[in-house]
Structure 1
Amino acid sequence: MDKSRQKDFGIMIKRVLICLYSVVHTGYLNLCWFLQFQICKNTQKSSISGSKDVSSLPFKHALYLVPHADDDLISGWSFLKRNRERISLFYCGFTGSRTDEKNRKIRRNEFVQYCTKNDFYFIESNGNYAKEIDQILKTKQYDAVFLPCYLDWHKEHRQLDEMLEKIDLNNLQIIWYSVTVPLTAQVNNACSPMTEQEQKEKWIQFKQTYRSQCMPIMRLKYQERLTGMQLGYFAVESFYIFPDTEAFLCLMNKFHKINEVTPFDCLSEKINNLSKIRQFVAEKFVLDFDHAISK
């Protein structure tokens, strides 16, 4: 066998091994999540009250901040579909560690396809995120802002909260949404309920639209199920509504101090364990939510 064929054969073997590893690893994680889900659903408290349907909020027009293409779908597919007439998506276009132009275009095209298919209005950032958001909000066309919860392992999610801190919020309604770190029923005070069929449709659309993203769909579905079961639904998307802008600033100040001691980046080490991440949220932050908001 000549050197050229040897090289091609080596590349083929490498691809086969990578594919096999991916299949085995995914199967292992899905099995782990299934077993963890069974344990969690049999041990967690159910019928926790106090979480309203987020669609009942009386805002006229909300700005929904989207750091990455797919954060919108993961966090609020059902909510956005029910409220598309009064929501504008603000697409930042963050791409994490993959900052090359090719990936940026792929992610943008997937987001545009998703918005077009679902008839969502969106605004695309030119890269001056904080200035643009500030200018948009100063038009007073919006009376509510949705953005990722600061309790998140992804720094680009937290970045939007840090931007909003420095903006004149002018009594805006501020609502946090959950992406991959679950806002459990002990923490969230609003949700968007989903039936079994709706949750199925949500994740089918994810696979069809965000093809470039290899996401732990089963893990995310189980987290939606667990919080939903606590609230008396099949599954939910979770939100936290701040009573006023002062409460948001107060809680952000509290979280900054916690982040210095227990960096939120470490949540990525717990994210694949359904029970550990939920326990971490409950034990570390429920009291801080209550304490900060009550001040």
Structure 2
Amino acid sequence: MEMTDHGLPYLANCSMLFTEQPLLERPQAAKDAGFDAIEFWWPWPDQPVPADADVAAFVAAVRDAGVSLVGLNFFAGDLAGPDCGVLSIPDRAQQFRDNIDVAVGIGDQLGVRAFNALYGNRVDGVAPEQQDELAREQLRAAADAAARIGATVLVEPVSGPKPYPLRTAADAVGVVTAVRADGASSIGFLCDLFHLANNGDDLAAAIEAYGDLVAHVQVADFPGRGEPGSGELAIDDLLGALAARGYDGWVGLEYKPTTDTAASLAWLPRARRAAPAREQNR
């Protein structure tokens, strides 16, 4: 795969990459592979409030590896199971609320800039309007907490068969706009190119329409969700369009390696895995 120089820095999503290693060894594995920055899904999928010792071990693993933790998910349940998120599910809303201070506390220690807040699936017996009202309330609380440490909450469209209501860029941006209208400014659009492509969204049109609201970007190729170059998605062109619209943040590599992680990174020169000077000086 021949790369164009759109200038955007890459980071490793250590919940998808380096899974050959135990979770606490992945920050060091990413560093050894040349990455200066990483992101994680919530590391404890069954625990919105993990033990203090577990949090301390996670923080130490990131610090000891010498990488920056740029992004962290709020608690969202078991993403490999029935869940895509919990914040708009009434029976689980308190789990999300309990998690906010824990996640932001980790972020305060490690300099996290972005927290992904995954919407809850639609559930029986609850009107969609009620779930959406709850979601806005929860997102306002999360955005207020994130703002205290200079971070941003992310709203993401997701693909797949689960009844997750945010499918297109317009869906996610509608939520971002509504929460901003309620007075919470620290919230933005997570532009995941794979999920949008998998849902049939028009990526070029979405970038043109909503590029100014993009707060973070994640990539995997489509179809298959493998590394760039394994599918048909014009990832470099799309990243170039985002850069042209003013996006200058990180690009999270959130893909399923078609072989092992090391082999799947052959498309990305080691020099492109390091933080550029503008990021090192932030």
TM-score by length of 1: 0.29
Q: Which has the higher helix share?
A: 1
TM-score by length of 2: 0.30
- Structure number with greater Rg is 1
